[in-house]
Structure 1
Amino acid sequence: MARSWPDPGSSDSGASAPNLRVKRVLGNNAALCEAEDGQEVVALGRGLGSGRRRGEVLDPNQVEQFFIAGSPDGRQQLATFLADVPLDCVRAATAIAELASVELGLPVTQSLILPLADHLAFAVQRTRDNLPVAIPLAWEVTQLYPRELAVGQRAVPLASRLLRVALSEDESVAIAMHLVNAQFAGPGTGMAMTMTEDLSRVFQVIEAQFGVTIDRQSPSAARFVTHLRYLFSRVASGQQLVEHGAGLAEAITRAYPEATVCAGKLRYLLEARLETQLSDDEAAYLALHVARLLPAAPA
């Protein structure tokens, strides 16, 4: 059954293919089509575009997937992208997204599938050309995102089988970054890379402040990372924590004075990196989580 993979505001995921009328053939496996409700979509399927003419209605059995075209600018970008990316890469990306949905609870959307497909297409080309590639922040990803990395490690042999290419195990790190970014930002890995660099720097500041070595894989470290990831997300959405009149900052300062001093340093660092000011309550919660992270702190 054909399926659409929408983002919020487009259409229901898992919908069967509507009657799609060809507007423009994009390639042997893709066509820009118009649905009965006037919505434009890009339909994919093996040999779907071969010999098609404008106005022809597609056989639903030939449509494997269809993607919502959106705005005129987005329509052209989507059409160009899906005309260039091999269908097998879209299939493999969809399989990875479905795996991530089961393991991480991520929604299966275009903004997850399409960047993954683009990455896989590049990875396949690199592999065939025997070109090594340095994966940035591999150690940090291993330490900070074990769940996403575990999915990435399962995704590499899955994609290798579907694409009939032996992808490097290092691709698991890049896939994990896409999954991290899908949870807290938009397509691609730019925000995830920035966030990972910031998380690593935060741990370094805490370790220097207290003269300790933090086990990045401990439950307390996992809690701390989760808090920071949601902090980044709240900042990006303009929804920082503000609890008027609760006296939160004063209470945490009294209970954890050393952690509060450290949180002040982290606040300065993060405000510079995020180019915004953190609310007092965000800083207070940051101090609380620093306190819980330290070995001598209560769990």
Structure 2
Amino acid sequence: MFRVKKALNHNTIIAINMADNREYLLIGKGIGFGKKVSERMETPKGCTMYSLREHTERGTAMELVKDMDPVFLEIAEQVLKESERIFGRIDWSILFPMADHIAFAVRRIQNNEQISNPLTSDIRALFHMEYKTAECIRPILRERLDVEIDEHEVGYIALHIHSAIEEENVALSMQIAQTVRECIQMVEEATGQTIDVMSLSYNRLMNHVRYMAARAVKGEKLKLNMNDYMSTKFPEAYELAAQVCKHLETYLRKPLDESEIGYLAMHIERVAAQEE
């Protein structure tokens, strides 16, 4: 049983769960229509509940909801429902920071302040399925707000989706994308070759650096050490891999397991051999 605290619009209300006396955001078609403050109601069929005790980088969920047009909460929920359909189980607490981001993105677009993200292509490659899923927001915004968003904004939504399916916040996902870009640039500069971004070797290298960064953040270690073999067989690739790992440690401020060098060297050697 819920007690209505405030109806935000026809589809969104803030209500108090009388079982635990906590505030929740309820989203569902028509659930707010005609609702009055303090009115009691059963849990509406088909609605989704979100705890307003969640904390975000910009404050509590309650603070965000108070200052936000509820349409952005509904739009974020539509994106997350599509994400759940694609990926299965997701962390629904990302609803509030995602809605907050969408609200700012729409405001920027309406003020002709659209941004450029130099990492968009990297985000699209690193988080391919998340990016494809994030594109569902294009027709939603077009239909509901008559707003067109570009690939850069889609990229940011993709990072929020990634945050909902992995234990990475948006800032960390962005940092990993930046790190991958810089590490691949180091490989290109050292080999004097421009790596074909469409090649399988590039994709493997990019994803290896991505997961290497993720392992560093989580403190995980590889089970097999290939350092002796790679340093003897491919010394130049091994030396470059050592430099990249050092850069990655500095950037992430996290130590890497020493065995990461040999595995990275293997991927660097594959790319160099393919580009020759």
Does the alignment reach a TM-score above 0.5? yes
Q: Report the counterpart of residue 205 of structure 1 in structure 2.
A: 186
Distance (whole Å) between structure 2 residues aligned to residue 253 and residue 266 of structure 1: 15
Describe the superposition over 1:182-226 as per-residue Cα deviations: whole angstroms up to 9, x where unpaired. Answer: 455544x32222212111111111111112211223222222222
1:268 matched to 2:246:
yes
Q: What's the TM-score once normalised by structure 1's chain length?
A: 0.76
How many correspondences in the alignment? 269
TM-score, reference length from structure 2 = 0.81
Indicate whether 1:96 and 2:79 are aligned: yes
Q: Structure 1 residues 27 and 261 mapped into 2: Cα distance closer, same or farther (>3 Å)?
A: same
Give the deviation of 1:267 after TM superposition.
Answer: 1.1
Provide, for residues 149-193 of structure 1, a one-character-per-residue CA deviation record: whole Å limited to 9, x for no partner: 3333343223322x2322222322222232344455544x32222
8 Å Cα contact 1:21-1:57 kept in structure 2: yes
Aligned partner of residue 277 in structure 1, secondary structure = coil
CA deviation string 1:215-271 (max 9, x = no partner): 223222222222222222222222233x3xx55322332333222111011011101
| Structure 2 counterpart SS, 1:61 | coil
Instruction: Answer yes or no: is 1:132 the counterpart of 2:114.
Output: yes
Q: Aligned equivalents of 1:73 and 1:194: distance in 2? A: 18
Structure 1 Cα separation of the partners of residues 146 and 269 of structure 2: 47
Over residues 116-149 of structure 1, what are the superposed CA-to-partner deviations in whole Å (9 max), with x where a residue is unaligned?
Answer: 2112112222333343333342343345444333
Which residue number corresponds to residue 277 of structure 1? Answer: 255
- Which of the numbers 262, 266, 271 marks the counterpart of 1:288? 266
Deviations 1:91-131 (A, max 9, x none): 2212222323344x263322332222112112222333343
Gaps of 5+ in 1: 1-18
Could you tell me how far apart the structure 1 residues matched to 2:274 and 2:112 are? 49
| Contact 1:30/1:82, CA 8 A, preserved across alignment | no
Q: Could you list the per-position Cα deviations for residues 70-107 of structure 1 after superposition, in whole angstroms to 9, with x for gaps in the alignment?
A: 57999x8122222333332222212222323344x263
CA, structure 1 residues 259+184, in 2 after alignment: closer, same or farther (shift >3 Å)? Answer: farther
**C-alpha distance in 2 between matches for 1:32 and 1:84:** 17
Q: CA deviation at 1:274?
A: 1.0
Candidates 152, 155, 167, aligned match of 1:173: 155
Q: Residues of 2 paired with 1:190 and 1:33: CA distance?
A: 32
What percentage of aligned pairs have identical amino acids? 23
2:52 is aligned with 1:52: no
Within 5 A, what are the aligned runs for 1:76-155? 77-103=60-86, 105=87, 107-155=89-137
Q: 1:222 — aligned with what?
A: 203
Check 1:39–1:132 CA distance in 2 against 1; reply closer, same or farther (3 A cut): closer
Does the 8 Å CA contact 2:56/2:97 hold for their aligned counterparts?
no
Gapped runs of 5+ residues in structure 2?
A: none
SS in 2 for 1:97: helix
Q: Which secondary structure does the structure 2 equivalent of 1:280 belong to?
A: coil
Structure 1 residue 39 displacement after superposition: 5.6
- Determine the C-alpha separation between the residues in 2 that align with 1:283 and 1:130: 46
Q: Residues 19-58 of structure 1: matches in 2 within 5 Å?
A: 19-22=1-4, 24-25=5-6, 27-28=8-9, 29-36=12-19, 40-45=23-28, 46=30, 47=32, 50-53=35-38, 56-58=39-41
- The one-letter amino acid of 1:111's match is S
CA contact 2:90–2:165 (8 Å) conserved in 1: no
